[in-house]
Structure formats: C-alpha cells, structure tokens
Amino acid sequence: MSAVVTEYVIDPEDRARSELYDFLGLLLVKPADAALLKQVSDLKGDETSLGRALGLISKVASVTSSETAEREFNALFVGLGRGELLPYASHYLTGFLNEKPLANLRSEMAKRGIGRADGQKEPEDNIASLMEMMAGLIVGRFGTVTSVAEQKQFFQAHIEPWAIHFFSDLEASKSSVFYGAVGALGRQFMEIEAEAFGMLPN
C-alpha cells in the first residue's frame, strides 16, 4: 500500500499491535527468505498464548531453509493453477474472487486515502494487504492515526469475518510446517483483537 508518512506519538501497546500486523503481512506477502527466517528465529516468546505462538514460530524458523519456505508458500498460495488456500476475503466470504467484499474494501480505501501500491497485482482483499492496512491505520501511515473506534469498524468489516477462519486453515494445513506456525500466530492474534474490539462500545 502506498503511504503518507507523518510523525505521531503512538501508545507502545498500539505500536506493538501495528508491528505484529506488519509482521504477519510480511510473512504472507511472499516466501520468507533466509534473512527473514533468521529474524524470526531470534524472536522470544513468553507464557501468554501469543507468546507461545511466537516461541513456536521462532523454533520452526530456526530449522526451516528458504527453499523449504518457498516450497510451502507455493504449495499453499500458488500451486498448479491455484494453491491449497486462496487468501482473499471475497473467496472466504462468497466462494468467489473479486466479489462484494473487495468492492467494499476498495470503497473504504478510497475514503481513507489508502492507495494501491505501484506494481501490486494481487486483489487488495488478500490477507497480507489487509494486515498491512490495519498496521498503517494504527500508526498513521496513511495520513492520520485512526481512532480505536475506527480501527474496530475496519477490523469488524474487513478482517474479523474471515481472517480467523483463514489462519485456522493455514494452521491446519497438511502441506506446511513453517506457515502452519504462521497460521497459529495469526489465529491467536486475530482472536485477541476480536475479543478486545468486542469489549468496546458500539
């Protein structure tokens, strides 16, 4: 996504949330290379559910080569004709690509001044782009910091209805080890976000 960069004072907890959204987007936009796998293997977890998921992905990354990550990514998301999973909101919510969820997202992107990145060929409702958008909204990457109420609206409209399902499918995939761990981390984080937003008044 193209971005307007402005400096804001961001709450450390919100910055951590944004960084985790960005991290998931980075892991899902293309196969993890050796440098990224090394960064992931250096992560430290804790005894929280999210911390355990971080510990798992760190451990798996430490024994995953870039070639293995690329094979897994291609089997999951590319395949011969199509991969095991189609990581798009339209597919998960309607069974087809380029349907109303994508149109709704594009309308909201226009309203919020979020532009399609140069050279981007994937539909904007793919999971990596949505993770990147949510990260940007939290920290003001698209021109203004988004209020928690607006974050909730975006999350509940474009992410919550399908992302937990997607990450659960990724976690359960038979053709993946590293990306299965990515799925576990994503599922845990989406569940935490959904619960937190659900506690806020409408």
Q: At 144, which CATH number? A: 1.10.3480.10
* Segments forming the whole domain that contains residue 67: 12-196
- As a whole number of angstroms, the distance between CA 31 and CA 78 comes to 11
Q: What is the pTM of this model?
A: 0.93
Is 7 among the domain residues?
no
Q: Name the domain count of the chain.
A: 1
Is 67 among the domain residues?
yes
pLDDT value of residue 143: 84
Is 5 among the domain residues?
no
pLDDT value of residue 53: 96
Give the number of other Cβ atoms within 10 Å of residue 196's Cβ: 14
pLDDT value of residue 125: 97
Is 102 among the domain residues?
yes
- As a whole number of angstroms, the distance between CA 13 and CA 5 comes to 20
Is 31 among the domain residues?
yes
Is 4 among the domain residues?
no
pLDDT value of residue 2: 52
Over its length of 202 residues, how does the chain's per-residue pLDDT go in tens digits? Answer: 555 444 556 789 999 999 999 999 999 999 999 999 999 999 999 999 999 999 999 999 999 999 999 999 999 999 777 899 999 999 999 999 999 999 999 999 999 989 887 777 889 999 999 999 999 999 999 888 899 999 999 999 999 999 999 999 999 998 899 999 999 999 999 999 999 999 988 7
Is 201 among the domain residues?
no
Q: What are phi and psi of 47, to 5 degrees?
A: -90, 0
Is 93 among the domain residues?
yes
pLDDT value of residue 183: 98
- As a whole number of angstroms, the distance between CA 5 and CA 183 comes to 30
